[in-house]
Amino acid sequence: MAEYTFYTHPMSRGQIARWALHEAGADYAQVLVDLGSKPPALMAANPMGKVPTLVHHALDGERVVTEAAAICCYLAEEHPRADLSPQDGERADYFRWMFFAAGPLEQAVTARSLGFAPTDPRQQGMAGFGTYERTIDTFESLFADGRPWVCGDRFTMADVYVGSHVDWGLNFGSIPPRVAFAAYVERIQQRPAYKAAKAVDNALIAEMKK
């Protein structure tokens, strides 16, 4: 049995988790999920029925991890040889920007896509991200010092999660093509693990379209 069972769909946030699995060098078996008819094993592991869902067949029993950001953090810690977890001086940036992407950035992009733009300060406070423009400007400030990666000079698992948002956002127009974002994505797309994971999902998408 593979170390992990990976429930996914190629046109989902499962792409983030697959890239994380490849960066970690994890041994996994995929289960492709028909979003209209979800398998009982997935529903037992994750009653939300969401993908990605990762089941770790650990020596002390099965562990279920859901939510793409959590999967990224978990894999980084479970596979220390891949050297994807933050070092002491990197922890603040690692956690700040990973969860900025999981929280304000995703909320801002989703709200904008749904046509919701909070204008009243009370609405902005409740929404958490404030405004789309403020969120994007803050996000761009990450690269203001010329750093190549989220934590500085070293690629970490935060780049898998943050980078996936930028990669997806530039591709679909939900993040503006600012110079810093475009340069970041160019670096990301040169990662061998990124290329390997994308090749798997792209092949699955092509097969579905036949």
Per-residue pLDDT of the chain (210 residues; tens, 9 = 90+): 999 999 999 999 999 999 999 999 999 999 999 988 999 999 999 999 999 999 999 999 999 999 999 999 999 999 999 999 999 999 999 999 999 999 999 999 999 999 988 888 888 888 889 999 999 999 999 999 999 999 999 999 999 999 999 999 999 999 999 999 999 999 999 999 999 999 999 999 999 988
DSSP 47-75: TT--S-EEEEEETTEEEEEESHHHHHHHH
Q: 198 phi and psi, to 5 degrees? A: -65, -35
Q: 124-147, pLDDT tens digit by residue?
A: 888 889 999 999 999 999 999 999
To the question of pTM greater than 0.85 for the whole model, the response is yes
The SS3 of residue 147 is coil
Alpha-carbon distance of 109 to 177, in angstroms, equals 14
- Domains, the chain: 4-83 (3.40.30.10), 88-193 (1.20.1050.10)
Q: In terms of residues, how long is the chain?
A: 210
Alpha-carbon distance of 8 to 1, in angstroms, equals 18
